[in-house]
Amino acid sequence: MLDALRVLRDTASGVDLPADVARNASLDIERLSGLLKPYLVADTLQAAGRTPGIGGRAHALLPMVHVDEADDNRLVGHVTFGRYYLGGFGAAHGGAIPLMFDEIMGRLSNAVGRPMARTAYLNVNFRAITPIDVRLRVEVRHDREEGRKRFLTAALYDGETVTADATALFITLKPGQR
Ligand SMILES: CCCCCCCCCCCCCCCC(=O)SCCNC(=O)CCNC(=O)[C@H](O)C(C)(C)COP(=O)(O)OP(=O)(O)OC[C@H]1O[C@@H](n2cnc3c(N)ncnc32)[C@H](O)[C@@H]1OP(=O)(O)O
């Protein structure tokens, strides 16, 4: 269903509809919302964001990063920003790129039994246009830990060109910390 939703998002972002088609589409989307509403649950029980086996953890907001290689301290994956993430002139929106970094750096930070941590800062440099509809490579490194602090770096590549890179600090949560 989320795959279909992603296709809908990309398609809806790219069209310019006549009013009658837009009206009919709205009615269909409202009908679908009605179909799902009886299944609303508490946020701790929802599937979205909590289903690691499904791409993007089944989180509808996230650009889907596919992991190609990973070990304890390094991860290489790929991602394609669809039309939904367009900022302008063929480039991904500047807010979508930190979103992707936060997710994939957070995943490596929390991997291999390391206790759950939360992003304290995420600094992103935009080095070149990040094109939409192009398969991009993302590389993440877990650099070091100092007590509760975990330092990670990441870069996003279009071919050999680094389009963005990031440094992040994740802090391990204390027992019972919310
Ligand atoms: C069934 C379920 C399946 C689920 C499937 C699992 C999926 C798994 C993948 C998840 C992937 C998603 C990944 C997204 C992750 C987010 O996006 S989390 C959301 C965004 N982040 C937040 O909302 C964080 C909000 N901030 C906070 O909660 C708190 O400030 C923090 C970060 C927990 C730190 O607070 P604290 O615990 O009180 O720690 P504090 O004593 O202030 O700081 C500890 C140390 O860090 C330093 N520090 C703290 N903040 C900073 C900072 N901004 N800059 C520099 N230094 C800092 C302090 O100076 C201190 O240093 P030392 O004095 O020890 O040398």
Q: What is the pLDDT of residues 56-75, one digit of tens each?
A: 888 989 999 999 999 999 99
Domain ranges of the chain: 2-39, 59-172
119-151: pLDDT as tens digits:
999 999 999 999 999 999 999 999 999 999 999
Structure ipTM: 0.94
Calpha distance 82→153 (Å, rounded):
24
Instruction: Please report where in the chains the tokens 């994956």 appear, as a residue.
Output: 77
Show Cβ contacts of residue 16 under 8 Å, excluding neighbours closer than 6 positions. Answer: none
Residues 106-129, mean pLDDT to the nearest whole number: 96
CA 27 to chain CA mean position, Å? 29
79 is written with which tokens?
A: 């991602």
Q: Hey, whose CA ends up nearest to atom 52 of ligand 1?
A: 120
Calpha distance 48→150 (Å, rounded):
26
Residue 172 pLDDT level (bands cut at 50, 70, 90): very high
CATH of 59-172, one of 3.30.1490.20, 3.30.565.10, 2.60.120.380, 3.10.129.10: 3.10.129.10
State if residue 162 touches ligand 1 by the CB under 6 angstroms criterion: no
pTM for the model stands at: 0.95
State if residue 144 touches ligand 1 by the CB under 6 angstroms criterion: no
